[in-house]
Structure 1
Amino acid sequence: MIITVMSLALGLSLMACGEQVRLETGKETARQEEQKTETGETTGESEAASQTEAQIVVHVCGAVANPGVYRLSAGSRAEDAVQLAGGMTGEAAADYLNLAGILTDGEKLVVPYRSEIPDGGQYGEDGFGQAGSAGVSGEADTRVDLNHADQAALMTLPGIGEARAAAILAYRESHGPFQSPEEIMNVSGIKQAAYEKLKDQIVIR
């Protein structure tokens, strides 16, 4: 009888210990799951922030179908930006731009026209072959081409706001390419005084 009571007591004690172990194990598992959830949320937020930050903005202009400002992933090449801008036009001097060049945020990527290349010029000469370089002398040609500029580019000219830029585009659409810089004075709102202010900043290509 004494042995039976002792055995019963021992059994109850073991059951109590087992229940305690299960409770502790359950608490530990819950804590681990909570930590995983918190870690996962933090990691997700970090990745989202990283993806948002890993973008650059590039101005693509020159001999491309759709000049403008484009957003690309950090580390993108000049070729990626040109493709976003609709590709090169038939007038582009394709071999004079380094399409493998890595772009930087805020860069102006100029695709040169064949007419800009000096006679006998070769790849890499006179500033060509580099992303953002389009000047024959090795310096970027910042003049605005009246025959290829979009509205945003035209609005960089002195005295040319949104309305006058739209008027230039409308004139070009109805009359065809400008034949000379002076022809801009045929556009409504642009007279001799206005032309004098911008004549050194425009070009016909």
Structure 2
Amino acid sequence: MGAVYLWQSRPTSHPLPPPAPIAAPHTSANRPTATVMVHVTGKVRTPGVYTLPAGARVTDALKAAGGLRDGAHPGVLNLARRLLDGEQLAVGTKPASQPPGAITTSPLDPTATVIDLNTATIAQLEQLPGVGEVLATRIATYRDTQGGFRSIDQLKEVSGIGDRKFADLKDKVRI
């Protein structure tokens, strides 16, 4: 009798149900949206403000604006660059020695430089105190993946920037 009981109480396997499909990600108020909004102006067929998917490139914004006008050239624009939310693309402008507005002076101290986090190059970010090539690259990568900085406090979210480094940088940058 004991053998029958042991035989009937042995574990049996049951197949698992198929996995449920993965739902599309949803956007919450705390996460960046999946779009960028850019203002395209200058020598394009239809200047205006356009909403494009996050990760869109300058060339995508030009297409959204109807393309270049006849005989126009994109000027100094890097057509392969990812767009930042809220930026303006001036098409067919004369070249500048640096991105417009990337480096300015402080109104309180005209000798102090203030760097725009959303438009500065890696080389310009390296001019900040205590920022080398690696940290400048991290700042630029964070900016590109997050759709730009919306607040200077977001610098604290960049790997390698703690409270002390942030205190050194906050008066030397702007958005």
Please say whether Structure 1 and Structure 2 have the same fold, judged by a TM-score greater than 0.5: no
TM-score interval (norm. to shorter):
0.3 to 0.5
Q: Tell me the TM-score normalized by structure 1.
A: 0.36
**Structure with the higher fraction of residues in helix conformation:** 1
Rg comparison, structure with higher value: 1
Q: Tell me the TM-score normalized by structure 2.
A: 0.41
Q: Structure with the greater relative contact order (CA < 8 A, sep ≥ 6): 1 or 2?
A: 2
**Structure with the higher fraction of residues in strand conformation:** 2
